[in-house]
Structure 1
């Protein structure tokens, strides 16, 4: 990659021979990946760009704190740290969790007690004032929202978390910046260098040509993908909102800016970057401008640069795309295992809610079988709910293979989870109804969608029991799938929809805030004293699932969960073949008691099995195994002494 003379020059940048050797060894390992991706995207501009990136990386390496350099070495010795069954994620807005970053620091004991090893604090870098897409309209990547604290507070929190074995995760918005960001302000002021950071068109001819194949992300309140900006004197590409300006990643200066941003934040203690809206960053006429090949080269380049300076850092792709597109964010072909370290398994989340409503797991099993195997050095982020709405990403082909209409099933799910389908237990809200396509996404907390809100309103103890069972079943699948389970703040307390979300003016137009309530610390204290309450039962059940998960090597994320055939559509079987033996997960997605033929389980485990969740033994030589409503089993083969 470098000539002998260039290596000699690099060595002169170090006072310590050992430090120089560390940097050069990493450059030798990851430099070719960086160089190849730069060449693929930027062609003849790749050489000067690489020299600029080397300067940025050298500066970041020299200024990286000693304790983070130690973490780098530890992670190089345990490259599978994100894949361990001990990993447990927690996702929260800092202000809604504890007010400020110092407030979060005061509640680290709570997170540690829950078993959290990965804390994702939702957007906290300084956004534009007023409406800001929940913080995703970033005005400054190098400062924190003033109401949350300072960058020094962020570093202090990261250091405290790191001492407890908890990795700090932050959002890095790659596709766009706020209109008020310095780059955009300078572009509006006419600086040619910064105008080239964006896609600005003098008239509608360019935008109209692109619009012919571009979808709309927020058709209700942000129709179209371009906004006329008077100060800029042209039409600006704005995929998400008028105040979010899409960046021009065809300009190598943009890549250099983000390498510097990533390494600066990494030196503040950020260990995982959630690459927001990663699918959208490369634009190509005549396409949807999503999932283009350059996206994966650019991500690989960013990852390689981070590996050279801060190998403790990992990337998580926020790519809510079809399964056939999703696998590329973990790497295929020459990118295999070299793009992001982790990606959201959005399909699993959608299929969980689909199976819960239909009491039929055949579509889920079919959809999971359609996934290509991921690279063994990568992992999934799985979740029951997140901060976002639920878009019914049900593939028409998957649906057809089990005798369903894709559009019809999506319509059913929207009706069911908005509570309009007869007999629905759910209390959700329709988000972003698109009359042209019929799509209706859904907002709502896990507990409200699973029926707890309606059951509590009715005072129906039977339905309360079933709602608790549904919530624990969903979390059992997520915790048993293999990857990093992500708990959304308050789900461990079965928090319901926030009926007052619209009282905050900037939230009123976005009903996703209904499932972003403030943390109920009084309830968090009460659940331990009152385990018989619905919240107490969910909390205790979840803590038990987490503890069992930590004890099972079978849940290492290098192993795939494979959907196994099951004669009863109400029951999902997931098989995991680990070197220490097979783990068979059994899930009843109905409120009915199911008599499952024992031969189905015997074919995987033999005559005797043990359930890690209950400690029960099962003799699989008998005709049937009875599964109570919403029962979950994590079964391994058991030896029986003579």
Structure 2
């Protein structure tokens, strides 16, 4: 791509290089990027809007559903086509490359598909039917990778790819998501060296000060795009750049690297969506929008712990306060809303939003419901709860008062709140099919996170989904029904207007309005285990419009009437069906 000297692209490239690679001429940077990405496959969304009310994502491992004599990716594709259909139009397949640990996040070879899952043809078939999201595990690589073995031998590619540190350096300011030691001693052709390992000693951090590392990741991105990946999840991106004497998280160079990737992909593969994974306090997370020039999407990490607290405690006080403080996403950006994932429910995003006592009460309740905890090490050597490890379905089997009979209603309420908020909803597969805690897998692996990484036998799951009385059938059918309704509402477009409603704390309510102002939806949720009365007059429904509930079909002719909401019932009160 021969760009004129004064092109906006080259101008932005120079700005990135000034901070990241000041010793390399921008023209050389541009040439090497072009060599990698020229002619790359462009996403189907190129030239169109990046998202609409029809967008939603299913998060799953490639082998979450298995059938003998089939590749797991083939079985997943069948599940998507037969059960999910078009009610959820996108799928995030968690790391699918060969790996050595951390259930895929210690990648051995980014260019290959783990043969235990299938092959690139399986990925191609999924991406032909669904918008595909994939992980770019960009902060670290497996210690069993060719890169790391070459580093130890002093060969390329690999030599200079890793962060070497003097073991006597002062690293007390470094923010850690784990309790393991930060440095690992390894033997190299040049003798003993200490390498940086943010997450585990099998996950060795990469040195992005070396431009060759950036180019290698562009080659990986090229492979992903050519196989139909349209959304790139930048895993653990906040820890990317290291500078001794700092926290080594969210450094200016890290943000610049996200902007650099955005510039390059906007130039060569417009329509590619970047999403940053930064499981940190809310204010830090929001910085990854930049000025609308970094991530297209950021995870709404605070939603999961605050929504869980609201449904356990029966009050929307803290969820409401957080939502009122949340800014609308910048133009061309949005949030990814989720309540559960392959990881646990992060507690760092609740810091400053829930008091220590409220967090402790929630932690204690989750332990009573069979959940476990993961911790992180603080600078003073002490440990603090980092995440709750639990199936969300089992986390909601009761309240702070104990077990009750409202598990399914409470759980469906959690998913309905999530799917109505500003942004794109994302459902973890074990939420969609109401998977309980897998304590046997925890015992087998010795890892707390395994509790929410069950692997279903496809035939057993299909049997449960065909039984109208099973929790799996009741939950999945109702979630997908509500998603079909949601997808037709312009007021649920990710960029539609949102305001928090000032209702009593046993309700959590908000108002969405379509960008053309034609449709309004008042989403009101009873977050308690008791029937609650709602005064419709509190919603200020316009007197000239016909108002009704999208979920039940009930009409409200008297705009001053009181209506009773059953425990965990949701109303989507609108003046237009969207059909």
Query: Which residue of 346, 370, 373 corresponds with 1:391?
Result: 346
> Aligned Cα RMSD in Å?
2.8
Q: Secondary structure at the match of 2:24?
A: helix
2:322 is matched with 367
In the alignment, is the contact (CA less than 8 A) between 2:301 and 2:346 conserved in 1?
Answer: no
Distance 2:338 2:97 in 1: 24
Correspondence 1:550 to 2:529: no
Paired position in structure 2 for 1:160: 125
| Secondary structure of residue in 2 paired with 1:186 | helix
Q: SS in structure 1 opposite 2:340?
A: coil
Name the structure 2 match of 1:448: 394
Corresponding residue for residue 632 of structure 1: 570
Residue number in structure 1 paired with 2:114: 145
TM-score (norm 1): 0.82
Q: After alignment, is 281-290 or 167-176 more displaced?
A: 281-290
Residue 317 of structure 1 corresponds to 276
Change in Cα spacing, 1:454 to 1:599, as seen in structure 2 (3 Å) is closer
**Cα shift at 1:428:** 1.4
Sort the Cα spacing of 1:146 and 1:397 in 2 relative to 1 into closer, same or farther, 3 A.
closer
1:159-199 per-residue CA deviation (whole Å, 9 max, x = no partner) reads: 323443x1122111111111122221121113488442211
Distance 1:105 1:548, change over 3 A: closer
Contact 1:327 1:374 in 2 (8 A): no
1:242 corresponds in structure 2 to 201
Unaligned runs of 5+ in 2: none
Deviations along 1:494-529, one digit per CA (max 9) or x if unpaired, are 11111310453xx22x11111111124345433554
Distance in 1 separating the partners of 2:500 and 2:163: 44
2:20 is aligned with 1:41: yes
C-alpha contact (below 8 Å) 1:167/1:271 kept by paired residues: yes
Give how far 1:469 is off: 0.5
Report the counterpart of residue 53 of structure 2 in structure 1.
Answer: 85
> Which consecutive residues of structure 1, in runs of 5 or more, have no partner in the other structure?
8-27, 400-405, 420-425
Among 158, 173, 183, the residue aligned to 1:226: 183
SS of aligned partner of 1:572: strand
Supply the distance in 2 between the matched residues of 1:182 and 1:324 (Cα, whole angstroms): 38
Q: Do the aligned residues in 2 keep the contact of 1:606 with 1:620 (CA within 8 Å)?
A: no
Match 2:138 to one of 141, 155, 174: 174
Partner of 1:214: 174
CA contact (8 A) 1:318 1:343 kept: yes
Q: Aligned pair in 2 of structure 1 residues 229, 162: CA closer, same or farther (>3 Å)? A: closer
Partner of 2:365 in structure 1? 416
Contact 1:611 1:634 in 2 (8 A): yes
Change (3 A) 1:217 1:606: farther
Counterpart in 2 of 1:427?
370
Query: Aligned partners of 1:281, 1:446: CA distance in 2, in Å?
Result: 30
Correspondences of 1:563-642 after superposition (within 5 Å): 563-566=500-503, 568-578=504-514, 579-602=517-540, 609-619=547-557, 621-637=559-575
Say if 1:585 and 1:632, in contact at 8 Å, map to a contact too: yes
Match of 2:230 among 252, 264, 271: 271
- Whole-Å Cα distance in 1 between the matches of residues 88 and 450 of structure 2? 24
Cα shift at 1:238: 0.5
SS of the aligned residue for 2:479 comes to helix
Residues in 2 aligned to 1:227 and 1:617: alpha-carbon distance in whole angstroms: 65
- C-alpha contact (below 8 Å) 1:316/1:343 kept by paired residues: yes
**Equivalent of 1:327 in 263, 268, 286:** 286
Distance in 2 (CA, whole Å) between partners of 1:157 and 1:528 is 24
> Which position in structure 2 is the counterpart of 1:23?
none
C-alpha offsets along residues 37-95 of structure 1, whole Å, 9 cap, x if unaligned? 2333222425222221122222xx1xx4xxx45xx4x5233133xx2111121111112
3-state SS in 2 of match to 1:354: helix
Distance 1:31 1:575, change over 3 A: farther
Out of 40, 51, 54, the residue aligned to residue 31 of structure 2 is: 51
1:92, 1:299 → 2: CA distance?
A: 25
Contact residue 30 and residue 307 of structure 1 kept, 8 A: no
Instruction: Tell me the CA shift for residue 287 of structure 1.
Output: 2.3
Task: Give aligned pairs, total.
Answer: 565
Deviation at 1:271? 1.7
Q: Which residue of 2 aligns with 1:298?
A: 257
Aligned CA distance change for structure 1 residues 200 and 106 (closer, same or farther; 3 Å): same
1:117 is aligned to 2:89: yes
Greater mean deviation of Cα atoms: 427-436 or 285-294: 427-436
TM-score for both structures, normalised by structure 2? 0.90
Are the equivalent residues in 1 in contact too, given 2:543–2:559 (CA < 8 A)? no
Distance 1:193 1:516 in 2: 34
- In the alignment, the residues of structure 1 paired with residue 146 and residue 124 of structure 2 have an alpha-carbon distance, to the nearest angstrom, of 29
SS of the equivalent of 1:308 reads helix
After the TM superposition, which of the residue ranges 441-450 and 611-620 deviates more from structure 2?
611-620
Superposed CA deviations along residues 411-448 of structure 1, whole A, max 9, x for unmatched, are 111111111xxxxxx33122337692542631111211
In structure 2, C-alpha distance between the alignment counterparts of 1:340 and 1:104, rounded to whole Å: 28
d(CA) in 2 for partners of 1:638, 1:552: 9
Tell me the distance in 2 between the aligned counterparts of 1:317 and 1:375. 15
The equivalent of 1:187 in structure 2 is: 151
- CA–CA distance in structure 1, aligned partners of residues 543 and 128 of structure 2: 41
C-alpha deviation, 1:139, in angstroms: 1.2
Instruction: Considering fraction of residues, name the structure with more helix.
Output: 1
TM-superposition CA deviations, 1:611-637 (whole Å, max 9, x none): 111111124533523211001111123
Determine which of 300, 304, 314 is the counterpart of 1:349. 304
In the alignment, is the contact (CA less than 8 A) between 1:259 and 1:305 conserved in 2?
no
Distance 1:560 1:46 in 2: 44
Matches of 2:320 and 2:400, distance apart in 1: 29
CA contact (8 A) 1:475 1:542 kept: yes
When residues 484 and 97 of structure 1 are mapped into structure 2, their CA distance, relative to the original with a 3 A threshold, is farther
**What is the DSSP-based 3-state SS (H/G/I as helix, E as strand, rest coil) of the residue aligned with 1:141?**
coil
Q: Does the 8 Å CA contact 2:279/2:346 hold for their aligned counterparts?
A: no
The answer on 1:75 being equivalent to 2:75 is: no
